[in-house]
C-alpha cells in the first residue's frame, strides 16, 4: 500500500509543502510513468526520487557520477533512519556480495552506485533478484554525447530499463538543452516522453561581467563587499593555490580545492568552508557537484568557463537560500585568447585521431586484424615523446577513442608528478655543496619551473631527463633522494595507462566508423566556447535574458546586471557634486582612479563618469604615472 508523499515529506524532512514541480514529478512516478525532470541547481532533485521510493514497497536503484555525492546522500538518509547502501570504489568482491545480499534480503530502500558498476555482471545479476520500485538516474546530462559532461559509462544506464521494463525511470539534471534532453529520453527508452521542467531562472542572483586589467585587485574588492561565503572558480590547480594564497595574504580566510589533493585534505577543506571557518573557497570545477551550502553570497569565475551550461550550474551555487547573491565573470583582454588556447587548440580532429590510432598500434606492436580484448600498459610520457605528440591533444584523443568504444582507457594513471622545494635557498646551496652529483638536476628544475619554492608544481620528468641528457629513471631516483633528505616535497608519478582494445586493428577504417560523429562532437565543443564568448561580449541584452534564452526560456530584464545598469541614466546632479569633490582632492596632489573610487562616497560608475566629464572639459589631465591631476596651464 502506497504511503502519502506529503506525510513522508513532513516525517523525514520536516516540510509541509513541496517546492516547484516536485509534487508533479512524484505523482507521475507513483503512476508508474517515466519522467525526465529538469530542475535548477538547488531545486531539490533528490526529494523527487527519495519520496516516491519510500512511498512504495521495494528498493530504488540510484545511479550517480560522484562517490562524494553518493556518500553524502547515503549519510543523509541514514541520519533520517532510512536504510541506504552505496557501492563505492575500493570495496572487495566479498564485501560487494554482502552489500548486495543486504539489498535483496535486508529491507533496504536505496542502492546507490556509479554507472561503471553496471558493467559488472555480478552486480547486474544480483539487482535482478531485487524488488526494484524505481530507477533514478542523477546528473542525467552525463548520458548525452551533446552534453558537456558526457561520460561513456552513463550510456550503460539503459541496461536497467532492459532489466526492468515495467519499472518507472526518473532522470534528473540541472543543465540540459533541448538536444540533450531528447538524447536522454532516447537512451533510457522512455515509454512515454514526459519532461517536467521548472524554470531555470534564479531571480535572487545578479549576473555580471566585470572587466578589469587588474583582476587580482578587483577580486579583492568583490570579496570585501560581502560578509557571506564565496566561491572563486579557476581553470587550473596551480591557479587555485595561487589565488587562495593571494586572498589569504590580503587578509581573507581562504582555502583551495582541486582534484589533485588527497581525500583527507578535501574533507578538511570542505568542512572548514561549510562551517564558515574560512570565507572563500578557490576551486577548479572539481568542486561543486553535490555541494549543498545555502548561504553562498558570491560566485566569481576568474577565467572563462568552457560552456554556458557549466557556467550557469556553477554560478547557481550562489543564493540557494533565496537571499540576494551575485555571480561575477571577472575578465581582462587576455582571457578570450586564453580560453581558445586552453580548449580549442587541443581538440583532436579526425586526421589526428587516425594518426594517434596508427601510432598507438605500432608502438604496442599490434598486428592488423588483431588486438581485440587485449590489455596493454602504455607509458604516456614516453609514447608522446617518441612521436613528438602534444600530451593534452593526445590525451583528449584517447578519451575520444574511449567514448567511441575503440578502446577502454583506465583513469588510474592520472596521478601527476609534483615537486615543491621546502629547504631555504641558503640550505639548498649548502646541501648541493656536499651533493655535487645532484646539481645538474636541481638547476634544471629551478630553471624550468617558476614558483617551485612556493607551490606544488607539476613537472615532466621526461623533459628534465632531456635537459640533463640523462634517463628518466635517474631523474626519479634523484627526486626520491631529494625528498628523503627533506629538500623537496615530491609526489611520485605513475604515467602508465591501462588500455583495453575493444575492436581488432583496422587502422583508418576503425576511425571512419565514427568520424562523422567525432566531427559533430568537436563542433559542439567549439560552439560551446563561441556561445560563451558571445554571452560575454553581448553588452546590449540583459544577462538573465541571454542565459535563460540558451535553455529555451523567456525572461524580462532583471534591472540588476551590468548590461541593465549600463542603461540606467546616471543622476547628473550627483555627478556634478562628485566633479567638485574630485577637483578639491586633486588640488592637494595626484591620485589614481582606484584611489578616488575608494575615497569618494559614490558608486564607481558615478566617479568614472565625473572623471570623464572633467577630462573632456580639460579641468584635469592624466600624468605619466596614469594618475589624475588638475590641468596645468603653460605660461
pLDDT digits 0-9 by tens, 323-357: 999 999 999 988 888 887 777 778 899 999 999 99
- Per-position DSSP letters for 430-486, written without gaps between them: HHHHH-GGGHHHHHHHHHH-TTTTTS-EE--HHHHHHHTTS-HHHHHHHHHHHHHTT
Choose between 270 and 299: higher pLDDT: 299
Quote the Cα angle for 48-69-98, to 5°: 95
Alpha carbons 218 and 293: distance in angstroms, whole number: 25
Residue at grid coordinates 594564497: 245
For residue 100 the three cell numbers come to 548486495
Right CATH for 572-630 from 1.20.120, 1.10.10, 1.10.1660, 1.10.3470: 1.10.10
pLDDT of the residue at 409? 77
Q: Mean pLDDT in the chain?
A: 87
Sign of torsion, CA 197 201 204 207?
A: positive
Percentage above 90 pLDDT, the chain: 41
Give which of 291, 292, 293, 288 is closest to 301, Cα–Cα: 288
Residue 252: exposure state from Cβ atoms within 10 A (0-12, 13-18, ≥19): middle
Give which of 419, 407, 425, 589 is closest to 501, Cα–Cα: 407
Q: Enumerate residues 6+ apart whose C-beta is below 8 A from 58.
A: 130, 131, 132, 133, 134
pLDDT of the residue at 414? 44
Alpha carbons 55 and 533: distance in angstroms, whole number: 46
Residues 23-54 pLDDT 10s = 999 999 999 999 999 987 766 889 999 999 99
Average pLDDT over residues 114-140: 90
Alpha carbons 318 and 544: distance in angstroms, whole number: 15
Judge whether 418 and 259 are in contact, CB under 8 Å. no
3-state secondary structure 86-151: EECCCCCHHHHHHHHHHHHHCCCCEEEECHHHHHCHHHHHHHCCCCEEEEEECCHHHHCCCCCCCC
Asked whether residue 171 carries a pLDDT value surpassing 50, the answer given is yes
- CATH number for the region 5-197 comes to 3.40.50.300
pLDDT of the residue at 168? 96
Right CATH for 205-333+538-550 from 3.40.50.300, 3.30.830.10, 3.90.1150.10, 3.10.450.50: 3.40.50.300
Judge whether 137 and 169 are in contact, CB under 8 Å. yes
Q: What is the dihedral of CA 3, 7, 11, 17, to 10 degrees?
A: 140
Q: For 152-302, where are the E strands, in sequence order?
A: 169-173, 195-197, 205-211, 229-233, 254-257, 280-283, 296-301
Identify the three-state secondary structure at position 488: strand
Classify domain 342-414+496-525 by CATH architecture. Orthogonal Bundle (1.10)
pLDDT band at 488 (very low <50, low <70, confident <90, very high): very high
Asked whether residue 287 carries a pLDDT value surpassing 70, the answer given is yes
Q: For strand 375-379 and strand 496-501, is the pairing parallel, antiparallel, or unpaired?
A: antiparallel
Partners of 283 in the β-ladder: 233, 257
Q: Which of 239-253, 363-377, 535-549 has the lowest mean pLDDT?
A: 363-377
Helices (H), 5-82: 5-8, 22-30, 45-55, 67-79
pLDDT of the residue at 395? 87
Helices and strands in the chain: count of H runs, count of E runs: 27, 21
pLDDT of the residue at 413? 46
Judge whether 136 and 170 are in contact, CB under 8 Å. yes
Alpha carbons 175 and 193: distance in angstroms, whole number: 18
Neighbours of 301 (CB within 10 A): 22
Residues 551-588 pLDDT 10s = 888 888 888 898 888 766 667 788 889 999 999 999 88
Any idea what DSSP says for residue 345?
A: G
Q: Which helix (H) or strand (E) holds 311?
A: helix 308-315
Percentage above 70 pLDDT, the chain: 94
Any idea what DSSP says for residue 289?
A: T
Judge whether 142 and 154 are in contact, CB under 8 Å. yes
- Per-position DSSP letters for 399-427, written without gaps between them: HHHHHTTSEEE--TT-PPPEEEE-S-HHH
Q: Helix, strand, coil shares of the chain as percentages rounded to 5?
A: 45, 15, 40
Any idea what DSSP says for residue 11?
A: I
Residue at grid coordinates 613537472: 459
pLDDT band at 280 (very low <50, low <70, confident <90, very high): very high
Using CA atoms, how far residue 469 sits from 466, 474, 628, in Å, is 5, 11, 55
Give which of 234, 199, 274 is closest to 548, Cα–Cα: 199
Give which of 206, 205, 196, 203 is closest to 20, Cα–Cα: 196
Q: For strand 325-331 and strand 296-301, is the pairing parallel, antiparallel, or unpaired?
A: parallel
Give which of 169, 191, 249, 261 is closest to 216, Cα–Cα: 249
Residues 313-322 pLDDT 10s = 899 899 988 8
Neighbour order of strands in the sheet with 84-87: 84-87, 110-113, 59-63, 132-137, 169-173, 35-38, 195-197
pTM above 0.75, yes or no: no
> Is 342-414+496-525 in the same CATH topology as 5-197?
no
Alpha carbons 501 and 366: distance in angstroms, whole number: 10
Identify the three-state secondary structure at position 299: strand
Q: Where are the domains of the chain?
A: 5-197, 205-333+538-550, 342-414+496-525, 418-491, 572-630
Residues 435-468 pLDDT 10s = 999 999 999 999 888 778 887 787 878 788 888 8
Alpha carbons 633 and 635: distance in angstroms, whole number: 6
pLDDT of the residue at 50? 96
Tell me the CA end-to-end span of the chain in Å, nearest whole number. 98
Give which of 507, 497, 509 is closest to 361, Cα–Cα: 507
Alpha carbons 231 and 201: distance in angstroms, whole number: 20
Alpha carbons 141 and 369: distance in angstroms, whole number: 36
Alpha carbons 417 and 14: distance in angstroms, whole number: 48
Amino acid at each position: 500500500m502506497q504511503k502519502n508523499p506529503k506525510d513522508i515529506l513532513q516525517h523525514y524532512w520536516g516540510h509541509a509543502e513541496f517546492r516547484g514541480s516536485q509534487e508533479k514529478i512524484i505523482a507521475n512516478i507513483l503512476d508508474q510513468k517515466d519522467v525526465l525532470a529538469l530542475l535548477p541547481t538547488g531545486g531539490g532533485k533528490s526529494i523527487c526520487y527519495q519520496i516516491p521510493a519510500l512511498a512504495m514497497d521495494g528498493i530504488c536503484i540510484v545511479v550517480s557520477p560522484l562517490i562524494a555525492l553518493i556518500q553524502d546522500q547515503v549519510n543523509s538518509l541514514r541520519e533520517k533512519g532510512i536504510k541506504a547502501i552505496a557501492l563505492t570504489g575500493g570495496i572487495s568482491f566479498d564485501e560487494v556480495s554482502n552489500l548486495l545480499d543486504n539489498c535483496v534480503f535486508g529491507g533496504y530502500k536505496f542502492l546507490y552506485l556509479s554507472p561503471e558498476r553496471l558493467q559488472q555482471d555480478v552486480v547486474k545479476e544480483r539487482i535482478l533478484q531485487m524488488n526494484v520500485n524505481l530507477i533514478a538516474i542523477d546528473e542525467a546530462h552525463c548520458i548525452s554525447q551533446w552534453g558537456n559532461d558526457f561520460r561513456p559509462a552513463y550510456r550503460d544506464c539503459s541496461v536497467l530499463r532492459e532489466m526492468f521494463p515495467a519499472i518507472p525511470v526518473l532522470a534528473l539534471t540541472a543543465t540540459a538543452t533541448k538536444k540533450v534532453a531528447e538524447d536522454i529520453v532516447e537512451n533510457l527508452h522512455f515509454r512515454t516522453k514526459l519532461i517536467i521542467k521548472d524554470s531555470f531562472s534564479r531571480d535572487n542572483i545578479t549576473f555580471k561581467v566585470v572587466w578589469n586589467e587588474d583582476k587580482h585587485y578587483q577580486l579583492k574588492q568583490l570579496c570585501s563587499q560581502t560578509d557571506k561565503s564565496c566561491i572563486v572558480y579557476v581553470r587550473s590547480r596551480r591557479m587555485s593555490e595561487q589565488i587562495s594564497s593571494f586572498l589569504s595574504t590580503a587578509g581573507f580566510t581562504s582555502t583551495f580545492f582541486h582534484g589533485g589533493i588527497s581525500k583527507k585534505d578535501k574533507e578538511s577543506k570542505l568542512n572548514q568552508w561549510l562551517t564558515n571557518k574560512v570565507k572563500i573557497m578557490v576551486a577548479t570545477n572539481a568542486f561543486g557537484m553535490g555541494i549543498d551550502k545555502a548561504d553562498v553570497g558570491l560566485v566569481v569565475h576568474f577565467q572563462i568557463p568552457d560552456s554556458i551550461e557549466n557556467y550557469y550550474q556553477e554560478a547557481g551555487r550562489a543564493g540557494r537560500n533565496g537571499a540576494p547573491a551575485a555571480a561575477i565573470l571577472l575578465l581582462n583582454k587576455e582571457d578570450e585568447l586564453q580560453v581558445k588556447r586552453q580548449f580549442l587548440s587541443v581538440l583532436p580532429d579526425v586526421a589526428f585521431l587516425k594518426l594517434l590510432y596508427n601510432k598507438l598500434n605500432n608502438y604496442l606492436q599490434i598486428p592488423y586484424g588483431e588486438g581485440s580484448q587485449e590489455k596493454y600498459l602504455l607509458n604516456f610520457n614516453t609514447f608522446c615523446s617518441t612521436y613528438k605528440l602534444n600530451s593534452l591533444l593526445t590525451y583528449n584523443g584517447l578519451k575520444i577513442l574511449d567514448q567511441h568504444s575503440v578502446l577502454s582507457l583506465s583513469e588510474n594513471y592520472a596521478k601527476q608528478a609534483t615537486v615543491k622545494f621546502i629547504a631555504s635557498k641558503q640550505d639548498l646551496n649548502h646541501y648541493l655543496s656536499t651533493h655535487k652529483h645532484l646539481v645538474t638536476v636541481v638547476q634544471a628544475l629551478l630553471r624550468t619551473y617558476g614558483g617551485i619554492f612556493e607551490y606544488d608544481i607539476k613537472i615532466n620528468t621526461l623533459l628534465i631527463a632531456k635537459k640533463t641528457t640523462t634517463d628518466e629513471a635517474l631523474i626519479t631516483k634523484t627526486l626520491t633522494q631529494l625528498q628523503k633528505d627533506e629538500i623537496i616535497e615530491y609526489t611520485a608519478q605513475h604515467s602508465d595507462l591501462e588500455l583495453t582494445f575493444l575492436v581488432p586493428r583496422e587502422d583508418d577504417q576503425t576511425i571512419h566508423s565514427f568520424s562523422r560523429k567525432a566531427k559533430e562532437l568537436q563542433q559542439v565543443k567549439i560552439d560551446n566556447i563561441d556561445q560563451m564568448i558571445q554571452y560575454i561580449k553581448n553588452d546590449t541584452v540583459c544577462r538573465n535574458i541571454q542565459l535563460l534564452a540558451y535553455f529555451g526560456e523567456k525572461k524580462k530584464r532583471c534591472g540588476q546586471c551590468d548590461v541593465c545598469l549600463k542603461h540606467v541614466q546616471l543622476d547628473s546632479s550627483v555627478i556634478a557634486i562628485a566633479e567638485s569633490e574630485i577637483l578639491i582632492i586633486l588640488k592637494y596632489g595626484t591620485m589614481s582612479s582606484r584611489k578616488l573610487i575608494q575615497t569618494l562616497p559614490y558608486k564607481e560608475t558615478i566617479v568614472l563618469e565625473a572623471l570623464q566629464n572633467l577630462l573632456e572639459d580639460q579641468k584635469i589631465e592624466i600624468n605619466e604615472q596614469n594618475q589624475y591631476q588638475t590641468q596645468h596651464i603653460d605660461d
